[in-house]
Amino acid sequence: YMGTQFMIHTNPARFAMNLTVIDCHAAGEPARVVVDGFPPVPGDSMLEKRNYIMEHLDHIRKLLLTEPRGYPCQNANIIFPSKVAAWGVVIMEHNKVYPAMSGHNMICVATALLQTGRVEMKYPETNFTLEAPVGLINIRAKCHNGKATQITLTNAPSFVEHLDVQVNVPQVSPYALLCICVYLCICVFVCVFVSLQCIALVMFRTQVWCKLPSHIVRLGM
Q: Are the beta carbons of 103 and 153 closer than 8 angstroms? A: yes
State residue 31 phi and psi, 5-degree precision. -155, 125
Range from 1-5, 46-50, 76-80, 155-159 carrying the lowest mean pLDDT:
1-5
Please say if the pLDDT value at position 124 is more than 90: yes
**Residue 148 reports pLDDT greater than 60:** yes
Position 42 scores a pLDDT of 97
pLDDT at residue 184 is higher than 80: no
State how far the Cα of 140 lies from the Cα of 68, in Å rounded to an integer: 35
Confidence band for 16, pLDDT divided at 50, 70 and 90: confident
Specify the pTM.
Answer: 0.76
Q: Which residues contact 100 (CB under 8 A, 6 or more apart)?
A: 47, 50, 91, 132, 133, 134, 184, 185, 186, 206
Q: How confident is the model at residue 171 (pLDDT cuts 50, 70, 90)?
A: low
> How confident is the model at residue 4, as a pLDDT?
66
What pLDDT, on the 0 to 100 scale, is given for residue 204?
40
Q: Which of 82, 102, 158, 195 is catalytic?
A: 102
Catalytic site residue 82?
A: no
Residue type, 170: P
Q: What is the mean pLDDT of residues 77-98?
A: 96
pLDDT of residue 178 exceeding 50: no
Please, which pLDDT band fits residue 7 given cuts at 50, 70 and 90? confident
Kindly report the backbone phi and psi dihedral angles of residue 176, in degrees, each rounded to the nearest multiple of 5, phi listed first: -145, 140
How long, in residues, is the chain? 221
Classify the C-alpha dihedral 56-61-63-66 as positive or negative: negative
Q: Lowest mean pLDDT: which of 1-5, 55-59, 149-153, 216-220? A: 216-220
Provide, rounded to the nearest whole percent, the portion of the chain with pLDDT above 70.
Answer: 67
Band the pLDDT of 5: cuts 50, 70, 90. Answer: confident
Determine if the peptide bond prior to 124 is cis (ω within 30°).
yes
